[in-house]
Structure 1
Amino acid sequence: MSNHWQELLPVDRYSVSSAGLLHDYDRKVLTLLYQPLIGPVCISLYMTLWSELEENRLWSESSLHYNLMNTMSMNLREIYDARTKLEGIGLLTVYKKKADENKQFIYEVNPPLSPEQFFTDGMLNIYLYKKVGKAQFMRLKKFFCDDRVPVGEYELVTKSFAEIFASDHLDSLYVTDESLKDLSVDQSKRLMNRKEGEELQGFEHTFDFDLLFAGIKTSLVPRRAFNLKVRDTIAKLSFLYGIDPIQMQKLVLSSLDIDNEIDLEELRKSARDWYQMEYHADMPSLIERVQPLKYISHSEEPKTKEQLYIRHLETVSPRSRLIQLSGGAEPSKSDLQILEDIMLKQNLTPGVTNVLVEYVMIKTDMKLTKAYVEKIASHWARKRVVTVAEAMELAKSEHRQYQEWADNKKTGNTRSKKAIRTESVPEWLNEVEDNESSPAAAAKVTENESLEERKRQFEEKLRKLKTGGEAAHGTD
C-alpha cells in the first residue's frame, strides 16, 4: 500500500476529461445511490471535477492539485483517499505521466450507472440494500421507477425510414476524395457522445478458476458455458459473499439448466441462499479493507520498531490480522461476525479494530468474547478513536479498567491462573504489564493508599471538631 505523498504532490498538475456527456439526471443517481456507499467527500470531489468542465465540453484547463485542495478545503491525503474510492467504484479513470520533476494527471470522469444498471447490478444494489435498509431501499427503487407504458394494448403503426424517404442514386451520393476527407473524423478529435456507465471490473484475478475447473468435469459442464459474462459473475459473487472455489463448484452445478448452461439468475440466488444460511445474515456489507489513508499516523517511512508495528496494523485487514494471531488458522463464522459488528455498528476503523482484536485476544487467552469486545468497542467509539496510535494509548491508560471488566465476566470471585502465551506479544502491551508489576508501580500504589488514609483521618478529625463546636454552642 503506497502513501499519498509518494503518488501525489500539491505541485502536480491535472486536467479533467469526460468519458462522455454527463447529464443533470446523473446528479440524482450519484447523490441518492452512490453517496451512501462511498460518502459525501467522494461525491464532492466528483462534482468538483465535473464542474471544471465547461458546458458541453470534454476537456478542462490544466490546474494544480494545490488549487484543488483550496477549492475543497481538504488536505492532499483526503483528496487522494476520495480519488481512489472513485476509481474503485468505476466513477473515475486516472492516467499519469512523468513531466520533469513533477507528474501530470488526467482525471477522466465516468458517468454513473443508469438506475436500471444499478438496481440490476447484483453487487452495488446489494451493498446499498445493506447500507440504507429495506424501507429506504424500496423508497429509492420507487423513486427511480415508473409504470410501464401499456404498448401491448396498442397496434404498432410507426413507419420505417424506407417508407418515408427515397435516395437519389444518380448524383446525390456521389463521393469525391475531398468529400471523403470531410466525412472522416480527425483522429486527434472525438465527437460528443453519451457513454454508458461501466460495471465494476477487476474481480476475475481474485478468484482461482483453475481450482474451480479442477472439480467440475467437462461432461457435466462444458468449458464453453464459462463465457466472459459467467466468469465475471462468478468472480463477483465470490468477492461479494466470500465463496471459495470448492463451494462455488456446488453452486455452479446447482444452477445448470436443461441445456447444461449456467443460469446466472439461479447462480445469484444460490449464492445468496448460501450466504444467508452460512452467516445468518441477509446481505453482506461494503467496508474498508484496510485503514483509510487519512487515518494513517505517519506520513514518512517508519523508522522505529513501534512505528513499523503501527504501520503493519494500518496496512492489514482485520480478518488477515485475526488469521495471523491464530497462527494461520481460518477464523470462525462467529469471530468474523464480531469483526463486522464492531466495524459497522460501532464505526471503528480497520486499524483500530486490529488493535482491539489483538488486545482482547491477548488478555483473554486467545478468545474473542463478544460481550467483552463490544464493551471496549463502544467505549472507543464514544472516545472517537480513529487511529492505531490513539487506540494503543487508550488501551494503555484504561488497561486496569478493562482488566476488571474481564475479571467480572469470570465465574465466581477467584482469579484463574494466568495462561502461558506462546504467541508474539506486542511491546506496547508488555510495557503496561511491566509497569503495573514493577517495584516503582507498587510503591506508587502504596503511596497513593497512604495519602488516601491520611486524607480520611484528617476529614474525620475535622468532622469531630465541627460536631463538638456545634454542641458547645448549643449549650451556651
Structure 2
Amino acid sequence: MKQYWNEVQPIDAFTVVMNGILHQHDKKIIALLYQPLIGPISTTLYNTLLYMVEEGRTLSEEWTHYHLMNAFDLNLEEIYHARLKLEGIGLLKTYTQTNNDRRSFIYELQPPLSAEQFFTDGMLNIYLYQKLGQTHFLKLKKSFTEKKLDMKDFSEVTRSFQDVFTSMGANTLAHSEGHTASIPEHEEEYFHRQKSHPISIDGSHFDFDLLFVGLSEVMVPRKLFTSAIKDAIAKLSYLYSINAIDMKNIVLQSLTPDQKISIDDLRKNARDWYQMENETRLPQLVDRIQPVIHRENETRLETKEDKLISYLETVSPRQLLIDLSDGGEPSKSDLQAVEDIMFQQKLPPGVTNVLVHYVMLKTDMKLSKNYLEKIASHWSRKKIKTVKSAMDLAKSEHRQYQEWASSKKDSTQKRKKPIRTEKLPDWFVSQEDSSHNDAEMQTEELEDKLRRLEAIQRKYQKNGGDKGGKN
C-alpha cells in the first residue's frame, strides 16, 4: 500500500468536473443511503467538491489541496482516506497529470445510483440493511417509494406533435441557420444527466476456472454464464466470502426449470448459505485495514515499536493470520473469532491486530475465542481506536488479563506439569527489561511456534525501515 504522501501533497492543484448534472433527489440519496456506509467526512468531501462548481456549470476553477485542508480543518491524510472511500463506492473518479514536476488532479464527481438501483444492487443494500437494522431500513425504503397509481381503467387521449403544430415548410427549414447554430463550439458539450453505474467488483478474486471444473457442461452449459451472471457471482463471492467450491452448490440451487441461472435465486441462496455459516447474521461493510484517521507514526519509523505499529496499521486481520501461518489460510474458526470481535465489539482492524498479536503469544500461538472476546469487550468499553492506545492498555491491564487467562487454564491444567515462563510481545516489554526477558528459557516447542511470528516481525520491520528511508 502506497503512503498518502506519495499520492498527494498540499501544494498539488485540482479541478472538479461533474459527470452530468446532479438533482436535489441525488443529494437525498447520498445523504440517506450512501452516508451510513462511507461516513460524514467522505459525504462532506463530496458535497464540498460539488459546491466548488458554480450553479449551472460542470467545471470548477483550479484549487490546491491546502484549500481543502483549511475548509475541513483536517490533515491531508484524513482527506485522502475520505477520497478513497468516494472512489471505492463509485461517487468519484480521480485523474492525475505531472508536468515539469507540477502535479495536478481532476476530480470527476459521479452521480449516485437511483434509489431503485441502490435497493436492488445486491451488495450495497445488504450492507445498508446490516448497518441500520430492519426497522430503520424499511422506514428509509418507504421514503423512496410511493403507491403505484392504478391506471388500467383510463384511456390515453394525448395529442401528438403533428396534431397540434404545423410546419412552415421544408424550404424554410433548409435555409435556416438553426442547425449550425445549435452545434456546440469546439471542445464544448451540452450539460446532460449521466447514467449512473452500479458498483463493479473485479472478478479476478474469484476462481471461475475452479467453479467450472466442478460443474458439468451437460448440467450447466457455459453459455448460461453471461456477463450479468458472472458479475453477480463475483459480487456475491466478495460480499459473503464464498469460495468456488461452495459457489458450485449455490449455482446448482439457482437453476430454473427452463435451464437458466436466476440472479434472484443466486442472491437468496448465497444469503441463506452465509446466514447458516454465521448464525443468521448478515455481512457488514468495514475497513479492510486501520482507517487513516486512527493511524499514528506513519512518518516516524525510528524504533522497533514504530515499525511494528506501522505494520499492524497497514495489514488486515486476515492477512496477519496468514502471515502468522507462513502464508497458509487461517482456519474458519480463527477467522470467525476475529470477525465476531470486529463486528460485535466494533474494534478497528489495527486494534484487532494488536489483540490477536497479544492473545496468540499468551496462549501458545492458539487463538482462544473466549479469552479474545473478554479482552475485546474491555477494549470496546474503553473506546480504544488506535494501535498505540491498544498496546498501552494491554501493558497497564496485563495483570488483570493474566488472571483471566489463568482462571481459564486452572481446570484444564491441574494434572499437567508447571507451565513454562510466558512469552510476551516485543512491544509489551520495556527497554530496560528486554535483556532479562530475552534470557528467559523457552522450550523448543514454543520457540518453534514463535519463530514464525518473529520472522514476520523482522520482515515488516525491514519493510518499515525501507519506507522510512524514502522520506
TM-score, length-normalised on structure 2? 0.85
1:417-459 C-alpha deviation (Å, 9 max, x unpaired): 43699xx985324669966966999xxxxxxxxxxxxxxxxxx
Distance 1:220 1:411, change over 3 A: same
Structure 2 equivalent of residue 444 of structure 1: none
Structure 2 counterpart of 1:171: 171
Q: Cα offset for 1:163?
A: 4.8
Contact 1:81 1:293 in 2 (8 A): yes
Alpha-carbon spacing, 1:175–1:269, altered in 2? closer, same or farther (3 Å): farther
SS at match of 1:145: coil
Gap change, CA 1:37 and 1:167, over 3 Å in 2: same
CA contact (8 A) 1:114 1:196 kept: no
One-letter amino acid of the structure 1 residue matched with residue 312 of structure 2? L
- Which residue pairs with 1:402 in the alignment? 401
Q: Does structure 2 retain, via aligned residues, the 8 Å contact 1:365–1:419?
A: no
With over 3 angstroms needed to count, the CA separation of the structure-2 counterparts of 1:188 and 1:406, relative to structure 1, is same
Please identify, of 384-393 and 102-111, the stretch whose mean Cα deviation from structure 2 is larger.
384-393
> Equivalent residues in 2 for 1:435-450 (5 A)?
none
Matched, 1:385 2:407: no
Q: CA deviation at 1:339?
A: 1.9
Mapped partners of 1:240, 1:331: distance in 2: 19
Given that residues 201 and 234 in structure 2 are in contact (C-alpha distance below 8 angstroms), is that contact kept between their aligned partners in structure 1?
A: no
Mapped pair 1:314 → 2:313: yes
Structure-1 separation of matches of 2:260 and 2:167: 46
Aligned residues of 1:279 and 1:333 also touching (Cα < 8 A): no
Partner of 1:117: 117
CA shift for structure 1 position 246: 1.6
Give the conservation status (yes or no) of the 8 Å contact 2:229–2:261.
Answer: yes
Q: CA deviation at 1:35?
A: 1.0
User: Deviation at 1:22?
Assistant: 0.9
Which residue pairs with 1:291 in the alignment? 290
Listed one character per residue, the Cα deviations across residues 305-355 of structure 1 (whole Å, up to 9, x for unaligned) are 443332222221111212332444433444333322322332221111011
SS in 1 for 2:427: helix
| Count, aligned residues | 438
Moved more, 73-82 or 327-336: 327-336
Q: Within 1, Cα distance between the matches of 2:175 and 2:405?
A: 88
Gaps of 5+ in 1: 442-476
SS at match of 1:428: coil
**For residues 364 and 416 of structure 1, do their structure 2 counterparts lie closer, same or farther at Cα, with a shift above 3 Å needed?**
farther
- Judged with a 3 Å threshold, the aligned counterparts in structure 2 of structure 1 residues 439 and 78 are, in CA distance, closer, same or farther, namely closer
Confirm whether residue 335 of structure 1 aligns to residue 334 of structure 2: yes
Q: Does 1:260 align with 2:259?
A: yes
Contact 2:289 2:349 in 1 (8 A): yes
SS in 2 for 1:152: coil
Equivalent residue, structure 1, for 2:281: 282
Matched AA of 1:35 = Q
Q: Match of 1:290, SS? A: coil
Of 167-176 and 375-384, more deviation after overlay is shown by 167-176
Name the residue aligned to 1:351: 350
Change (3 A) 1:187 1:206: farther
Q: Which runs of 5+ in 2 are unaligned?
A: 441-471
Shift in Å at residue 297 of structure 1? 2.0
Q: Structure 1-normalised TM-score?
A: 0.84
User: What residue number does 2:33 align with?
Assistant: 33
- Change in Cα spacing, 1:171 to 1:111, as seen in structure 2 (3 Å) is same
Q: Secondary structure at the match of 1:62?
A: strand
Q: 1:61 to 1:438 in 2, by over 3 A?
A: closer
What percentage of aligned pairs have identical amino acids? 49
Q: 1:290 to 1:344 in 2, by over 3 A?
A: same
Q: SS of the residue aligned with 1:39?
A: helix
Q: What are the equivalent positions in structure 2 for 1:230-249 lying under 5 Å apart?
A: 230-249=229-248
Following superposition, the deviation at residue 44 of structure 1 comes to: 0.9
- Is 1:375 aligned with 2:405? no
**Cα 1:183/1:265, change in 2 over 3 Å:** same
Structure with the greater alpha carbon radius of gyration: 1
SS in 2 for 1:285: coil
